Amino acid sequence: MKSTPQKVIVNSNEMSITLRRLAHEIIEKLHGVNNLVFIGIQTRGVFIAKRIVSLIESITKKTISFGTLDITLYRDDVDRISKQPIVKETEIPFDITGKDIILVDDVLFTGRTIRAAMDELIDFGRPKTIKLAVFIDRGCRELPIQPDFIGLSYPITKKDVISVNLKETDGKDNVVVYKKGD
Amino acid sequence: MKLKQKDLLGLEYLSKEEIELIIQTAKPFKNLFTRTVKKVPTLRGKTVVLLFYEPSTRTRTSFELASKRLSADTIGISVPASSVVKGESLIDTVKTIEAMKADFVVIRHSMSGAAHIVSKTISASVINAGDGMHEHPTQGLLDIFTIMEKKGNVKGLNVAIVGDILHSRVARSNIWGLNKLGANVFVVGPATLIPTEIEKLNVEVCHNIDKIINRLDVINILRIQKERQEQNLFPTLEEYSEIFGINSYKLRNAKNDVLIMHPGPMNRGAEISSEVAESKNSVITEQVTNGIAVRMSVLYLLAGGDGGKSETFNS
Amino acid sequence: MKLLILNGIVCDPSNKFEKKADILIENGKIVNISIKSKKRKLNAKIIDAKGKYVVPGLIDMHTHLREPGREDEETIKTGTRAAAMGGFTTVCSMPNTQPVIDSVSGVKFILTTAKNEGIVNVFPIGAITKGSNGLELAEIGKMKGAGIIAISDDGKSVMNAIIMRRALEYSKMFGLPVISHCEDMNLSANGEINEGYISTVLGLKGIPRQAEEIMVARDIALTELTDGKLHIAHMSTARSVELVRNAKKRGIKVTAETAPHYFSLTDEEIKNTDYNTNTKMNPPLRTIDDINAICKGLSDGTIDCIASDHAPHLIEEKEQEFRVAPFGIIGLETMLPLIITKLVNEKVISFREVIAKLTCNPAKILGLRKGTLSVGSDADVTIIDSKQTKTIEKFESKCKNSPFIGKELTGFATTTIVSGKVVMDGGKIVSD
């Protein structure tokens, strides 16, 4: 079976509206941003986090600390996959102990990435809280992990593929779904 | 990405791209060392056997730390050199290790080709930690990593390896690796310690470092052993030191930013003066730090599965 | 008991004979060679050699049978079975056993054991010096009386020139050739493989070609001095060939042999097989230039014979680190196919010329009444299928230390006859 054609479910305009809504929701729910830091998960989570951070900064006129996290070394399948993923940069230029962390990723699927990310964060220090923000929740969880902030909920089966494209990494902003070929 | 072979036996057998991948992957591992928790769970449950037929504090400690920082379990086995002839054969020893389900065997041996024997005998990943006069690939990689960090690139650099080239596995690994990445390699030493037909490895042989010193970007100084004097390879250690030892006088015409490297352990006053070893140009202690990162990178890249199932790790 | 070999191409270099003919054997001797025999009247056992070569029984003048002392590696029984399998009817046993064959009792032991247990002819070579230590001459005259056909300290060189001089002078009285293992052992000390690019890349200690050539030159000079009879063993380098060629031109009594691996493999094989210790031998595998010179020396007659240097070592001895593994490979069962594959089929030399190097040439050097199919001579005969192709895998030898395992070669002995008795037929040893 061939892959089905890609269907655009979020366009560029809808994406910026959603991000703006997420920014407001975070500010509102957390009653301010004083103790807040953002950690984006490599690769696309980093850019989504950056966009939300700059939105919040422009709304609140405050500077927000930001870090990146590569979870490759915390994966639970290193000996199962045939090709080792490239290890990307983890850079958290501040102490996370006592902070309220917003962990950001593009898609929430099985929950394994978030499990790895939390393990890694704990190795850096003892945050006060960790909350999870994702742009798309596509369902099919394998671990008991739920997001605190969701851009869009779009439940699909395991065979479906969802990808978030971003200007920074893919040259355009949209979200597409398709069925994978054999 | 993946390395083609299950083993790392020498830099001769790696492509330019594979060497670059190992170096690139070493960088995030090095960043790990600045954290409070210098350890990641990547190789949890894996066993690394450190099989050492030759005494070595540095390399062994470095491999042990690299394994532990990846959360692998390590076990060290030291075999006295005398038992190579009298004791259990190398093949039987490694078969035993394999039966204990080791995932990695790191082997150091005084005889060239020993790592190949292990590689042919067992299915675990074999990492050559130095075999006789043949290769010491992780030392070559850490030297290249250090040069890349300091100089940005290896291509076009003039690198001299100074000393006992004949007996040096470090020299051979450096020559293979540096040439693949496009450096110009010089070997400098007494004619008695330059192996036959080494020019065929695309290096320039030189017996007088003064003639090339102003062109050099990197000087990698090898340890000289007193034992070579007894073999009549040079008359006295003093004469060797005068002609080939690197001191600040010899460096008077060198570039300001020339890198001074040494795989250790140093014979201060013999092949290198203390002044040079402690100078701002010296990256000798940094080589040690980089050694752990490079070995972590190698362990990580060799740890891949059998290729049967390539799952995507979706969010 | 009569034996009739029919329809083969009889190739007997000693008589410059090469045509289709039948051979009749009776009472262990050759009694008739004829173009057309009347087979039905003879009441003889018949061997049909149609499409095959029938040649004088092959002679290997350089064999290590390991008995006495290392019967775990080879015995006279198993070594001669390997010889029969390879088409050899005669082997000359090197004296570097444990103990060294440097006395009459040792020679008698070899001959007695060979008579009782061997299935091909065994001629012992005695040591030049006591214990092959290079210090004092062995009892060469007495050993000659007991049956040695040459002297050699093979495995080592006689490093002291005055001892070598005396050996060449003294052995002259008995007409015994001195077989010289040419190696300056100071120059080659701790060496593992040929010194060159490959030794540099593999980090193995080199044995310079000059270690051999210096001794070839010295021994030629000493032969000129003494008018002795010198035979150079297992020659491996281009310059050695050149030295022997010049010496022969000047009328010095020197002959030479090489072994099949020196025209079949180069030191590249050590690298290509990742330090396979079955590529470790002494002298070591050299380079393509040397192979070309050895081939030239074989074709122009500089090199008189090809010998196996059959050197069995156990798997457990060879399956060690390269440095500690012993030198040497077995050769009796791969020699003929290597010669046919690498020399005859590659048109380096003709079949007849190469058979001379395995029959009448060694016989002449050693003074053996062998290596011929002349009427009245011992009925030692080898039948060769020069077209048969096989992958090398099984051996009659006790040991399997061969770099040719797994290689496909052409030209095998199919029948070996010693004194009229068939000892090998169709790739199987014929037991009593």
ipTM, two decimals: 0.93
* Chain A residues with CB-CB distance to B310 below 8 A: 81-83
Residues 6+ apart with CB under 8 A from C425: C47, C414, C415, C416
Angle at C131 between CA C128 and CA C136, to 5 degrees: 55
Q: Is the pLDDT of residue B85 over 60?
A: yes
Residues 6+ apart with CB under 8 A from B243: B190
Mutation target among B299, B309, B315 for the A interface, most CBs of A within 10 A: B315
β-sheet bridge partners, residue A131: A102
Give me chain C's average pLDDT, please.
96
- B309 pLDDT band, cuts 50/70/90, is very low
Mapped onto helix, strand or coil, the DSSP state of residue B309 is coil
Q: What is the pLDDT of residues B104-144, one digit of tens each?
A: 999 999 999 999 999 999 999 999 999 999 999 999 999 99
Sheet holding C151-152, edge to edge: C151-152, C178-180, C230-232, C254-258, C305-306
Q: What is the pLDDT of residues B184-234, one digit of tens each?
A: 999 999 999 999 999 999 999 999 999 999 999 999 999 998 888 888 999
pLDDT of residue C38: 61
β-sheet bridge partners, residue A7: A177
Compute the distance between CA of residue C183 and CA of residue A38 in angstroms, rounded to an integer.
76
Q: Is the pLDDT of residue C106 over 70?
A: yes
Indicate the length of chain C as a whole number. Answer: 432
CATH 3.40.50.970 is the classification of domain A3-180 = no
- C158 pLDDT band, cuts 50/70/90, is very high
Q: What is the pLDDT of residues A119-159, one digit of tens each?
A: 999 988 899 999 999 999 999 899 999 999 999 999 998 88
Q: Are A and B touching by the rule of 3+ CB pairs within 8 Å? A: yes
Compute the distance between CA of residue B117 and CA of residue C318 in angstroms, rounded to an integer.
12
At which residue do the structure tokens 């491999």 appear? B63
- A182 pLDDT band, cuts 50/70/90, is low
Q: What is the pLDDT of residues C255-306, one digit of tens each?
A: 999 999 999 999 999 999 999 999 999 999 999 999 999 999 999 999 999 9
At which residue do the structure tokens 């009749």 appear? C24
* Chain B residues with CB-CB distance to C275 below 8 A: 112-113, 116-117
β-sheet bridge partners, residue B218: B159, B259
Indicate the length of chain A as a whole number. Answer: 182
By the 8 A CB rule, do A104 and A64 touch? no
- A76 pLDDT band, cuts 50/70/90, is confident
Q: Which two tokens stand for residue C187?
A: 């120059």
Q: Is the pLDDT of residue C62 over 70?
A: yes
C401-405: average pLDDT: 98
At which residue do the structure tokens 């950001």 appear? A104
Compute the distance between CA of residue C286 and CA of residue C189 in angstroms, rounded to an integer.
17
pLDDT of residue B1: 53
Interface of C with B in 266-305 (CB under 8 A): 274-275
Quick one: how far is CA B254 from the chain centroid? Answer: 25
Compute the distance between CA of residue B119 and CA of residue B116 in angstroms, rounded to an integer.
5
Please tell me which residue of chain A has the smallest CA distance to B35: A124
- B87 pLDDT band, cuts 50/70/90, is confident
Residue contact C275–B113, C-beta within 8 A: yes
Q: What are phi and psi of C227, to 5 degrees?
A: 55, 35
Distance to chain B for C317, nearest Cα, Å:
10
Q: What is the pLDDT of residues C350-395, one digit of tens each?
A: 999 999 999 999 999 999 999 999 999 999 999 999 999 999 999 9
Q: What is the pLDDT of residues B243-267, one digit of tens each?
A: 999 999 999 999 999 999 999 999 9
**Which residue numbers of C are catalytic?**
309
* Chain B residues with CB-CB distance to A108 below 8 A: 315
Please tell me which residue of chain A has the smallest CA distance to B21: A86
Of C203, C316, C320, the CB nearest to B133: C203
Compute the distance between CA of residue C125 and CA of residue C155 in angstroms, rounded to an integer.
13
- For β-strands A36-41 and A65-69, DSSP reports them as parallel
Residue contact A79–B46, C-beta within 8 A: yes
Residue, of A181 and C136, whose pLDDT is higher: C136
Q: Is the pLDDT of residue A2 over 70?
A: no
Query: Is C320 part of the contact surface with chain B (CB cutoff 8 Å)?
Result: yes
- Quick one: three-class SS letters along C60-106? EEEECCCCCCCCCCCCHHHHHHHHHHCCEEEEEECCCCCCCCCCHHH
Mapped onto helix, strand or coil, the DSSP state of residue C409 is strand
**Which fold, C2-53+378-429?**
Urease, subunit C; domain 1 (2.30.40)
Q: What is the pLDDT of residues A15-36, one digit of tens each?
A: 999 999 999 999 888 877 889 9
**Helices B137-151 and B169-180, packing angle to 10 deg:** 50
Q: Which two tokens stand for residue C218?
A: 């010295």
Q: Is the pLDDT of residue B311 over 50?
A: no
**Domain coordinates of chain A in residue numbers?**
3-180
Q: According to CATH, where is 2.30.40.10 located in chain C?
A: 2-53+378-429
Give me chain B's average pLDDT, please.
92
- For β-strands A36-41 and A100-108, DSSP reports them as parallel
The correct CATH number of C57-366 out of 3.20.20.140, 3.30.70.1380, 3.40.50.1370, 3.40.50.620 is 3.20.20.140
pLDDT of residue B312: 45
